[in-house]
Amino acid sequence: MIEHTTRAFDADLRELALKIVEMGRRDEEQITNAFEALAKRDVALAKRVIAQDDQVDTLQRVIEEKAIIAIARWQPMAVDLREIIGALRISNDLERIGDLAENVAKRVVLVTDEVGINEVMLQLQRMMQLVLDQLKRVIRSYERRDVAAAMEVWHKDQEIDALNNSLFRELLTYMMENPRNITLCTHLLFCAKNIERIGDHATNIAETVYYIVQGRPLSEERPKADFTSKESLPLPA
């Protein structure tokens, strides 16, 4: 009976982990499609990204329900409890990542008539690709319970912040040089901030992987190099 119970509990934990991985894969697709829609001014694709966010939300609810049932049924302790708590934390971060990708897609509808700035779009693409790589790597670290890989993601978040800072300055320059750029650049500033926030949530997931494996929160102070929230936008002349 004990062996049967253990197998059943292990099956519940595996199912939770599989749902987390599925949620991560859907987020990756959302981010990729949201940026493609922005780069190509593809309103139809943007609307698909917005509509598909419900699928990510549904997965989060499923994970929450399964986690609560597992805790009530098995009353786990130590590492088993950390696995469940970790799944809850990660699903919350993945749900927010889906929301942030949706936010980028919503901007597409607002900039379809604006003339693009190639240099800015290339910077955004670099930033998006780095964030996407971070998300893929941190989900893989969760699958493998690989603390070293999770910590690499954790340290690399500063690169995303640096790109966001650079893009922030560049967009402000375009806005001050020509007031006609203000509308587009404002929307792109919000897009960049949403992408940077996705990186923050990937970093949160890395910290949760550390917690699951090591049994304690990460004690180091998170490296952070984003100053954009402290800056103010210029007023049009």
Output the domain CATH number for residue 125.
1.20.58.220
What is the domain count for the chain?
1
236 domain residue, yes or no: no
pLDDT at residue 235 in the model: 42
Q: Is residue 235 part of a domain?
A: no
DSSP 3-state of 117 = coil
Helix (H, G, I), strand (E, B) or coil at 1: coil
Rounded to 5°, angle at Cα 103 from 35 and 47: 70
What is the chain's alpha carbon radius of gyration, rounded to the nearest angstrom?
20
**Contact of 63 with 91, CB cutoff 8 Å:** yes
List pLDDT tens digits, range 145-163: 999 999 999 999 999 999 9
pTM of the model: 0.91
- The Cα-based distances of 150 to 106, 113, 139, 146 in angstroms read 31, 41, 9, 6
The three-class DSSP label of residue 128 is helix
Domain that includes residue 211, residue range:
2-230
C-beta of residue 34 within 8 angstroms of C-beta of residue 49: yes
Q: Going by C-beta distance under 8 Å and a sequence separation of 6 or more, which residues neighbour residue 44?
A: none
* Residue 4: per-residue pLDDT: 44
- Looking at residue 118, what is its pLDDT? 84
Domain contains 237: no
The helix/strand/coil state of 47 is helix
Question: What are 43-81's pLDDT values in tens digits?
Answer: 999 999 999 999 999 999 999 999 999 999 999 988 899
Q: What is the pLDDT of residue 7?
A: 87
CA nearest neighbour of 149 among 210, 230, 214: 210
Tell whether 17 is covered by a domain. Answer: yes
Q: What is the pLDDT of residue 116?
A: 67
Q: What is the pLDDT of residue 104?
A: 97
Q: Is residue 174 part of a domain?
A: yes
90, two tokens:
């990660």
**Can you tell me the distance from the alpha carbon of 97 to that of 28, in angstroms, rounded to the nearest whole number?**
9
Q: For residue 5, which phi and psi values (nearest 5 degrees)?
A: -60, -45
Residue numbers of the chain with a pLDDT score lower than 50: 1-2, 4, 232-237
Q: For residue 30, which of 130, 90, 97, 93 has the smallest C-alpha distance?
A: 97
Q: What amino acid occupies position 85?
A: I
And the tokens for 163? Answer: 């790109």
The Cα–Cα gap between 12 and 151 comes to 27
Q: Are 123 and 170 in contact (CB under 8 A)?
A: yes
